[in-house]
Amino acid sequence: MKRRLLIMPAILVLAGCAAPVAAPAGDASAPAPAATAVIRLAESPWSASELNVAVAKILLEEQLGYTVEVTSIDENAQWPALAQGDLDASLEVWPSGHAENIAEYIDTQGLVENGGPLGVVGKIGWYTPSYMVEKYPELATWEGFQKPETAALYATAETGAKGQFLAGDPSWVQFDDQIMQNLGIDFQIVHAGSEDAILAALNSATSREDPLLFYFWTPHSVHAKYDLTAVALPPYSAECYAKAGDGGVDCDYPSDELFKIFRKGLQADAPAAYTLLKNMSYTTEDQIQMIAAVELDGKSIEDAARGWLDANTATWQAWLP
């Protein structure tokens, strides 16, 4: 999920058009798929995943002649679904939260294939509005949140004497409960339920300059809309995350090179689709442009995806078999 490279202060929002993506020169029609006619893509509950799927769906259907079925699914539940052959591909996996799944389904069972890098680099973290740090400079680092007076400052009716830490969908990979307990931070996790719910809470808090500590990530258009400070946690290490199963995580989230996963056998069953999805790769900035088109410019997921495709023909034509 989620949750990356910091967004540049100015973001170019592409003006997407709804016209179908043009076929490469010389193609009278999209070729018929070689074998499997239906490609089943997993969609995780955040905007970037939806955009990845929209880009792939347009190309698979309009360039290669496949039918695409999209399944919204928990990011952990997608692994057994791929292993069992119920899904064909997932296009955005954050590796820091899936070490056990990678070991089980890719390394041990061999039923899921690493589909290669998406090209996007992600980073999950803790954020608070920068006006809070301007008032209380100690809140720039985790030590400032150890103080009882900070917990009281961030407390809500729901959390009582504890401070509130706002998380999103409970299905997202999160280690915040471990981090807080191990660092002596007296905050209670409250699940907003979704990315949109976090953004609504952030909008409400900033309109009144209220305290808010929340889970979020880059790349995301939120950093272009609000002045946020990433709270500095103890530096990430592999040794720290090796303790996750025993509740021992007490450090920051790592930077993640996002990657794709496929069911084993997709290459044999649908070679053209496999080649496209294997080759599919764009930059963090590419993804930011699409997210911004949706979340700042009000475009639909499909229109934002088509806008990127229209502006980057040479990039996606290189993905085709």
180 and 85 share a domain? no
Q: Domain check: are 184 and 159 in the same one?
A: yes
The beta-strand segments (E) located in 8-47 are 38-43
Residue that finishes a domain, picked among 200, 226, 246: 246
Q: Is the pLDDT of residue 32 over 60?
A: no
Residue 263 lies in a domain: yes
* Same-domain pairing of 136 and 106: no
Q: Which residues contact 74 (CB under 8 A, 6 or more apart)?
A: 44, 171
The pairing of strands 38-43 and 89-93 is parallel
Check whether the bond before 219 is cis (ω within 30° of 0): yes
Tokens 């905007």: give the residue: 47
More confident residue, 163 or 221: 163
Element holding 167 (H helix, E strand): strand 163-167
Q: Please tell me the predicted confidence (pLDDT) of residue 275.
A: 98
What are 227-263's pLDDT values in tens digits?
999 999 999 999 999 999 999 999 999 999 999 999 9
Q: Are residues 70 and 162 in the same domain?
A: no
pTM for the full predicted model:
0.70
Confidence check: pLDDT of 31 > 90: no
Report residue 171's pLDDT band, with 50, 70 and 90 as the boundaries. confident
- In a domain, residue 26? The reply is no
Domain count, the chain: 2
pLDDT at 96 over 60: yes
Give the DSSP H or E segment for 116.
Answer: strand 112-129
User: End of a domain among 224, 246, 268?
Assistant: 246
Domain that holds residue 287: 38-122+256-317
Whole-number average pLDDT of the chain: 89
Q: How many CB atoms lie within 10 A of CB 160?
A: 11
* 143 and 80 in a common domain: no
Q: Which residues pair with 187 in a beta bridge?
A: 163
